[in-house]
Amino acid sequence: MPFLQLGSEGGFVAMAPDSRKNGTFCREISFAELQDKEKDKMSTAGKVIKCKAAVLWEPKKPFSIEEIEVAQLKAKEVRIQLLATGICRTDDHVIKGLMVSKFPVIVGHEATGVVESIGEGVTTVKPETLASFEILLNAKLFPVTPGSTCVVFGLGGVGLAVITGCKSAGASRIIGIDINKDKFEKAMAVGATECISPKDYTKPISEVLSEMTVNTVGYTFEVIGHLETMVREIYAVPSLQTSFIPKPVFKENVCLFTGWKSKDDVPKLVTDFMEKKFDLDQLITHILPFKKINEGFELLYSGQSIRTILTF
């Protein structure tokens, strides 16, 4: 995730994704480059601007890269100059018509950028402030108790982030579940103690889990977003706490985002990441320029991608 840190000469040094460095997902932006960006922002602040956007005109069609106009800010609004954004399965739900949306639409909710300008009445941020709209479900928010057993349904980007959080919180057993076994190696690398596929069993996976754990599951996470999984499987697994995305049904001890507040909690996670308390680099499998967004979704569909980052 791009971030800002104080530079050696009293200015700011920005770190942004860069695909040119193998194994490193950052590049240093010079103070002069930031000054140039600031000049650009000063010339556009408070005005109607034009920018590139990936527009989805109808369900089940490719994105179209087009120039759009961004209106002047209204009161309480903030305009962000994006640096990078992640491709999430939730975006695919819109593409496939599984999530209700009006078309045309511009999807995306995992963006990081710098505040370009603010509307009247905005007091919590100012131009040049780093802004993040990334959703990172971290198991420490329950909190998961040390020594507990956790089950994670879905081993995509968010699922692996949950496993990372469970490990960081001290869980002793973390069971990852996915029908794509190609994801098992990565899940084990970030902290899963074992992984299973529902395709390997003739009985419901809830029964398999009950037998594996002798009904000692403490926390269950559903990060697929499938209603059937939530109702048929998750609810059948006895656990202290259950978290899922989205929220079509409710029961006692079930949470959505567990009280997550990105404004307050994302900076804490950034601090933990910078202090190497957990590693997110393993979740980033591909970095592409924004114009290759359709290629990014193909990587998602093929199961090759955990998280693809698009850079601007």
Note down pLDDT in tens along the chain; length 312 residues. 333 322 223 333 333 444 434 443 444 445 555 556 555 655 677 788 888 999 999 999 999 999 999 888 888 888 888 899 999 888 888 898 888 889 999 998 888 888 888 888 988 888 877 765 443 433 444 578 899 999 999 998 888 988 988 998 899 999 999 999 999 999 999 999 999 999 999 998 888 998 999 888 888 888 876 666 666 655 556 555 555 444 333 344 444 455 666 677 778 878 888 888 878 888 889 999 999 999 999 999 988 888 899 998
Question: How many domains does the chain contain in total?
Answer: 2
Q: What is the pLDDT of residue 9?
A: 30
Choose one of 259, 279, 303: the last residue of a domain. 259
| Same-domain check for residues 80 and 129 | yes
Note whether 149 and 161 are same-domain residues. yes
Do 223 and 249 fall within a single domain?
A: yes
Both 8 and 109 in one domain: the answer is yes
Is 125 in the same domain as 143?
Answer: no
Domain extent, residue 296, equals 3-135+261-311
| Domain match, 251 and 180 both | yes
Q: Which two tokens stand for residue 145?
A: 């108790």
Q: Which of 239, 259, 279 is the last residue of a domain?
A: 259
CATH code assigned at 283? 3.90.180.10
Same domain, 85 and 164: no
Give yes or no: residues 50 and 127 share one domain: yes
- Whether pTM exceeds 0.85: no
* One domain for residues 121 and 268: yes
